[in-house]
Amino acid sequence: MSNPSSSESSPSAAHSLATKNPLLAAVALAALGVVFGDIGTSPLYAFRAGFIEPTAAAVSHDVVFGLISTFFWTLIIVIGIKYTLFILRADNRGEGGIFALLSLLPTVSEASVFKLPKYLLVLGVVGAALLYADGLITPAISVLSAVEGLERWAPAVTQSEQEFQANVITALAIVILIGLFMIQRMGSSFIGRMFGPIMVIWFTTIGVVGLISLLQTPEVLEALNPIFIVKLFSVSPVVGLTVLGAAMLCVSGGEALYADMGHFGRKPIAFCWYGLVMPGLLLNYLGQGAVLIRDPTAISNPFFALVPEWGLVPMVLLATAAAIVASQSIITGMFALTHAGILMGLLPRLRVVHTSDHSSQIYIPAVNLLAAIAIVLIVLNFRNSDNLEHAYGLAVAGDMAITTLLFAVVMVRHRGWGLTRSIIFCSIFLSIDLLFFGANILKVPSGGWFTLLMAAGLTFIMLTWIRGRKIMTERYSKQTLDYTHLLNNLKTHPVPRVSGTGVFLTPQASGVPPTLLHHLKHNKALHEQVVVMSVQAAPVPRVDPEDQVTVKLIGPDFWTVTARHGFLQTADVPRLLRVAADHGLETSEGTTSYYLGRTIITPRGRAKMPGFQKRIFCALAQMSSNNPLYFSIPPGRMVELGMQVDV
C-alpha cells in the first residue's frame, strides 16, 4: 500500500491527473452523479439540526460560530483526511465498502471470512446493517428536505392549510421516490451521466449563494478557529452535543464514497471532492451561518434563506433534483453492498442484473423493491425532515466507527502497520467517531430507536443466515461420499452410460455431491462424461482468468472442476466450462446437461438453533435456492434434483 500522505490525492495532484488523462474528467462527472448526492444535500437540513429548538430565540453568536467551526473541521478531518487519504486506499482490487474491507481481513491460514475471529465477523455484519439503515433513511430525508422549500414560497397560515400543505409535500416526496426506484434498472452508468451535470450545477450554485452571504457578513470566517467548538461546550454541554449530532449529518454520505469506489475508482472521487464538492459545501455552511447572524428568524430554513425571492422556485427544483441524486448514491451503494454479501456467502442469493460491461454496475430487483416499500413507509410515518433528523446520524456514526476499526486491523494484518501506528490512527479517528456516536445517542428516544431497530433486525437476519449456512455445510460434509469409494462401486457395478456430458454443481470443494448420488439412485445411469464442478467465491473482487478453473481427471471420463470467481464476478458456469477446455476438459454446449440440487430445508431437525430462527433461516434458504440465472445456465439445459434436509 502506498503512503497515505502521498500527494497523489491532493487537489494539485488531482488537477494534474485530469490534465494528463482526459477520461478522468468524464469519469469524475459520472461520479458526481452517483457518489456525492448524499453528502451534497446535507446543507438542506444539517445546519438547522444544530439548534435544540429551531426558533429565533435559540440563535446566538456562540451557537452559530460553534456550528460553523464544527462542520468545517468535521468535513476536513472525517472526509478530507480519514476517508479520502486513508479509507479509500483500503480497497480490495479496486472495490470498496464494508464487505470489501471485511474480505481483506482473513490471513492465509483463515482463508475466508467465516474463519475470522467472531468479533471481527460480527463487527463487519453490524457495520453493513448500519449502512443499510442509513440507506433507507437518506432518500426519505433528502427528498423531504428539498420539497419542504415550497413552504417558504407559499407559507401556510391556518392549521387546515398547514395540514393540507404537509399532505401535499408527503405525497410529492413519495411520487419522486417511486419514480427514482423505477429508473434503477437503467444502471448507475446511465444515471451517473444523466445526474452528473445536475450535481455540477448544484455544488456551484450552493457555493455561490453561500459566498454571496459570506461577503455580506465576512466576520463569520473567524468561526473557522476550533476554539469556538471548545467554547460551545463550556457554555452548554447539551448544546454542544446537539451541534455534534448535527455535524454527523454534514458527513452523511462519507460511506457512499467508499462503497461506490468500485464504480468509478479512487482518483476521480478524490478529484471531485477537492475540486468541487468540499469548496461548495464549506462556502454554503459559512453562508448559512452568516445569514443567521444577520437574521435569526431565518432559522426556520437557513438554506433557502440564502436564496432571493425570485430564485426560490428554481432552487427548490434544483434541490429536488440533487435530493434524487442523493437517494441514487445510497441505492447504488446498497446494490454493491448486497452483491458483495451474496457472493461472500453473507446474504442469500438474489437475482443480480448487470447493467453494463462494467461488472460493478448492477441492479438487484429484490433489493430495489424492498427498499422502495421501506422508504415509502418511512416517509408516511415521519412525514417531515425535522422528525427524520432524530432518526438520522446514529447509523452513520456507528458505521464510520466500525470502518475505522476494521481498517486499522487490515493495516496491521496485511499492510505492514505496526501496533503503535494503528493505535495512533485509532486514537485520532476512532475517538472522533465515538464522540459523534455518543452525541447521537441523545436522539434515541426521539427517533434514533428506529435506526437501531432496523440495524438490529438486519444484523439478526445476516447472522441467522451465516449460522444456518454453517450448520448446513457441516451436515453436507458429513453426508458426502469420497470419490475412491464411488469409482470402485462403478467399476464393480457398472451402470449404463448415455451420450453427452453431465455437470453436477456443488458448493463443496471435496466429496461426491448428493445430486450425483440421487441421480444414480433414481436413474441407474450416467452420462458418458461426468463433471463435478465446485463453484467457490474467492475473497477478492475478481479472480484472474488463469486462476479461475482447476481441472482434474479422477477416473475414466470422470472429472472434477474447481471454479473460482470474485465476489463481484458472475458465477457463469458455461463460460467457466469453456475455460476448462484449455485444461483438457472438452464439452459441447448442445450435449451438456447441468444438475442442480434444490434442497428443501425444514425446521424439524435437532440443530442447536431456536425454533423461530430456524424458520427464518428456512425462509431465507428458500429465497437462496440454486437458481439457474445465478449460474447463467440456459433453462433448457438444467435439471433440478430435490431433497429434504431437517435442521
Q: What is the DSSP string of 540-593?
A: SS---GGGSEEEEEEETTEEEEEEEE-TTS---HHHHHHHHGGGT----GGGEE
Q: What is the pLDDT of residue 628?
A: 60
Cβ contact 9:273 at 8 Å: no
Q: Which residue ranges does the chain devote to CATH 1.20.1740.10?
A: 18-468
Residue 557 CA, distance from chain mean position: 45
pLDDT (0 to 100) of residue 514: 82
pLDDT of 631: 81
pLDDT of residue 157: 61
**DSSP-assigned states of every residue in 247-280:** HHHHTTTHHHHHHTHHHH-HHHHHHHIIIIIHHH
Q: Can you tell me whether residue 346 is helix, strand or coil?
A: coil
Strand order in the sheet with 592-602: 549-555, 558-565, 526-537, 497-506, 592-602, 638-646
C-alpha to C-alpha distance for 35 and 269, rounded to whole angstroms: 8
**Which amino acid belongs to residue 193?**
R
Whether pLDDT at 218 is above 90: yes
Closest alpha carbon to 367 in 339, 409, 405: 339
* C-alpha cell at position 430: 476512532
The per-type count for the chain, helices as H runs and strands as E runs, is: 26, 8
Residues 6+ apart with CB under 8 A from 524: 495, 496
Q: Which residue has the cell 449563494?
A: 209
Mean pLDDT of 14-24: 47
- Where b means 16+ CB within 10 Å and e means fewer, 107-139 reads eeeeeebeebeeebbebbbbbbbbbbbbbbbbb
Rounded mean pLDDT, 386-406: 86
Mean pLDDT of 350-375: 78
Most confident listed range (38-52, 124-138, 205-219, 302-316):
205-219
Residues of the chain with pLDDT > 90, as a percent, come to 30
328 pLDDT exceeds 90? no
Task: Kindly indicate the confidence band of residue 428, based on its pLDDT and cuts at 50, 70 and 90.
Answer: very high
Three-class SS state of 644: strand
Question: If DSSP codes are grouped into helix, strand and coil, which group holds residue 502?
Answer: strand
- Contact 578/552 with Cβ under 8 angstroms? no
Which cell is 499 given? 451420450
Predicted confidence (pLDDT) at residue 108 exceeds the cutoff of 80: no
How many CA atoms are closer than 13 Å to the CA of 450, on its beta-carbon side? 20
pLDDT at position 321 is 85
- Tell how far CA 81 is from the center of its chain: 21
On whether the CB atoms of residues 562 and 548 are closer than 8 A, the answer is no
| Residue 356 pLDDT | 58
Predicted confidence at residue 93, as pLDDT, reads 75
pLDDT at 18 over 70: no
- Answer whether residue 526 shows pLDDT above 50: yes
**pLDDT at residue 269 greater than cutoff 50:** yes
Beta carbons of 600 and 644 less than 8 angstroms apart: yes
According to the per-residue pLDDT averaged within each range, which of 200-214, 383-397, 419-433 is highest? 200-214
Q: Which whole number is the average pLDDT over 239-261?
A: 85
What pLDDT is recorded for position 342?
A: 83
Q: How confident is the model at residue 7 (pLDDT cuts 50, 70, 90)?
A: very low
Higher per-residue pLDDT: 185 or 140: 140
Spatial distance between the Cα atoms of 34 and 358, rounded to a whole number of angstroms: 15
Instruction: Tell me the pLDDT band of 552, cut-offs 50, 70 and 90.
Output: very high
User: What span, in angstroms and rounded, lies between the C-alpha atoms of 361 and 568?
Assistant: 10
Q: How far apart are CA 265 and CA 261, in angstroms?
A: 5
638 φ, ψ to 5°? -110, 135
Least confident of 15-19, 179-183, 613-617: 15-19
Q: Are strands 549-555 and 592-602 parallel, antiparallel or unpaired?
A: unpaired
Mean pLDDT for the chain? 84
Mean pLDDT over 397-412 rounds to 92
Return the biggest CA–CA distance within the chain: 95
Helix, strand or coil for residue 172? helix
Stronger pLDDT, 279 or 191, i.e. the higher one: 279
Burial level of 572, CB count in 10 A (0-12/13-18/19+)? middle
Task: Give 526's strand partners.
Answer: 497
Question: How many residues are recorded in the chain?
Answer: 647
Residue 236: per-residue pLDDT:
85
For 18-468, the fitting CATH number among 3.40.640.10, 1.20.1740.10, 3.40.50.300, 1.10.132.50 is 1.20.1740.10
Question: Which pLDDT does position 345 carry in this prediction?
Answer: 82
CA atoms within 13 Å, Cβ hemisphere of 50: 33
For the segment 80-99, what is each residue's pLDDT rounded down to a tens digit? 999 988 998 887 777 778 88
Average pLDDT of the residues in 501-524? 86
The answer on pLDDT for 11 being more than 60 is no
Strand-pairing partners, residue 592, are 501
Alpha carbons 16 and 447: distance in angstroms, whole number: 46
Q: Model confidence over 154-191: pLDDT tens digits?
A: 666 677 777 877 888 899 999 999 988 888 777 655 66
Residue 126 C-alpha cell reads as 453490524
pLDDT of residue 396: 86
**Residue 532 near residue 516 (C-beta atoms within 8 A):** yes
Is residue 503 over pLDDT 80? yes
From CA 398, how far away is CA 407, in angstroms rounded? Answer: 14
How confident is the model at residue 10, as a pLDDT? 34
pLDDT of 273 over the 80 cut: yes
Burial class (CB in 10 A: 0-12, 13-18, 19+), 487: middle
d(CA 262, CA 24): 15
What nine digits make up the cell of 507?
458448493
C-alpha cell of 261?
469506489
Residue with the bigger pLDDT between 644 and 63: it is 63
Instruction: Say if CB 149 and CB 311 are below 8 A apart.
Output: no
Q: Is residue 198 pLDDT above 80, yes or no? A: yes
Residue 224 confidence (pLDDT)? 95
Distance CA 280, CA 211 (A): 9
Region 37-55 average pLDDT: 86
Q: Which helix (H) or strand (E) holds 531?
A: strand 526-537
Residues 6+ apart with CB under 8 A from 478: none
d(CA 140, CA 331): 12
Lowest model confidence (mean pLDDT) among 129-133, 282-286, 348-352, 397-401: 348-352
Stretch 544-555: mean pLDDT, rounded? 89
Instruction: Average the pLDDT over 433-461 and give the result.
Output: 90
The pTM for the full model equals 0.78
Mean pLDDT across 461-480: 81
Residue 16 has pLDDT above 70, yes or no: no
* Nearest residue to 454 (alpha-carbon basis) of 411, 395, 498: 395
